[in-house]
Amino acid sequence: MSHYRNPHPGARVVLVAAMASGQGKTTVTAALARRLVRMGKRVRVFKCGPDFIDPLLLERACGSPVYNLDLWMVGVDECRRRLGEAAREADAILVEGVMGLYDGSPSAADLAREFGIPVLAVLDASAMAQTAGAVAQGLRDYGPVQMAGVVANRIASPGHAAMVKASLRDIPLIGSLPRQDKRLPERHLGLVVPGEVEKVEELLDAMADQIEFDDTAWDALPLLPPTPVQPASQALRPLAGRTIAIARDAAFVFVYPANAELLQQMGARLVYFAPLDDEPVPRDADAVYLPGGYPELHCPALQAAKQWRASLRDAQARGVPIVAECGGMMAIADGLTDKQGQRWQMAGLLPGEVVMQPRISGLGLHAMPTAQGELRGHTFHYSLMHSDLQPQGHTVKQNGSQGEAIYHRGALTASYFHAYFPSNPEAVAAMFLGQAR
């Protein structure tokens, strides 16, 4: 009897998009991912564009790390490699879009067309019925894009679903989801991170139970073929033998999985510590990474974390390279004034004051110029940094205008800019070796 197995044929793949933000893309993607997992399928999920929070929830829904896809920040070749690898391992691939389908440059539609991914349109049908068909056809034809089908969100009744389905004409209704009694909570930077949501697993299971799903329409979708296994390259390991300590708790949560992965590929050993528990920087750390997050929500704990703050100042005095991004930079300023106007003492590595703002203060894709070339990433913050320290430079927005200040103080690099490390590994190595200028 032969034990020969046919090679994996690939994965069904869709890009989950909508006409605008707030239509329920993340809810539908999470519900669909959990539903497919419970059907016994191997599911991989990606997030289109720069985003930290949605991937955390989607990772809980599918059980695998969620990587970002973006034609500009991640690059076409790296996006193709990630998708091809996923198609080798998975039966289903869901790519959650960003904003509206055609919003931004590059847009989610651009990504779908680049890789031939059909679009699954999420329509908030709570205040419409037959007009859903016009919206779906407009989303399909404007680009155009290949339309896999529609998931109607916030459906009131079976009769309502039937009206929506009839209006779609030649576009299949692949699924529908009723109005949710309990929604995923949000705050100023997006959804609340999963660790803060009570009974998040029960919530995901409930959404998976509630989504009406057409298995036949799903099985009719084309397969994304897997890419051949690439031989392991003998990559440079400029961080070999070095230990990088990464802050990780509810105040420091915004790390791209690809960033941590790259540091390890470059030879670094990663260790984690929790500032909110007043854990000091490990003494054997050769470098420190303070990623973004929500320090503004944890000011009392950060002010009280005297051991953590002292260990950071000691690391800086010893010349240990420190990379502080957005929330990480906020936490090492002299002080942080919250939205209620109360000032809190921070670590004091970077002279200056951070003040929370009522509206968004920075948003968009940026590139940071370095001696090794540009390092790409994005910015998204609701605070302003006031410092007498002269910036060493600024990031550059996609339109070519001046972006975020970049501060260097000894071996410290600090900015509101969130870097996507794989866009320039050499520049990243220089930062963690204290050679960035």
pLDDT tens track for 372-407: 999 999 999 999 999 999 999 999 999 999 999 999
pLDDT of residue 188: 45
* Sole residue written with tokens 């209620």: 340
Cα–Cα distance between 358 and 238 in angstroms, integer? Answer: 42
Q: Mind listing the pLDDT tens digit for each residue in 151-160?
A: 999 999 999 9
Determine the pLDDT at residue 1: 40
Given a cut of 80, is residue 232 above it in pLDDT? no
Q: Helix 425-432 to helix 257-265 angle, to the nearest 10 degrees?
A: 80
Asked if the domains 11-224 and 243-432 are classified in one and the same CATH topology, the answer is yes
Share of the chain above pLDDT 90, in %: 85
* pLDDT attached to residue 191: 43
- Give the end-to-end CA distance of the chain in Å, rounded to a whole number: 64
For tokens 């349109």, name the residue.
Answer: 121
Amino acid letter for position 156: A
CA distances from 56 to 2, 278, 393 (A): 42, 24, 32
> Could you read off the pLDDT of 19-69 as tens digits, one per residue?
999 999 999 999 999 999 999 999 999 999 999 888 988 999 999 999 999
Q: Taking residues 412-416, what's their average pLDDT?
A: 98
User: Residue 125 in contact with residue 116, Cβ under 8 Å?
Assistant: no
Q: Residue 335's closest CA among 302, 306, 358, 307?
A: 302
In the CATH scheme, what is the homologous superfamily, with its name and number, of domain 243-432?
Answer: Class I glutamine amidotransferase (GATase) domain (3.40.50.880)
Catalytic sites, residue numbers: 326
Task: Render pLDDT for 237-283 as a digit per residue (tens, 0 to 9).
Answer: 999 999 999 999 999 999 999 999 999 999 999 999 999 999 999 99
Q: How is the chain split into domains, by residue range? A: 11-224, 243-432
Match domain 11-224 to its CATH number in 3.60.20.40, 3.40.50.300, 3.40.50.150, 3.40.91.50: 3.40.50.300
Cβ-proximal residues to 226 (8 Å cutoff; 6+ apart), any chain: 7, 8, 10, 11, 84, 85, 87, 88
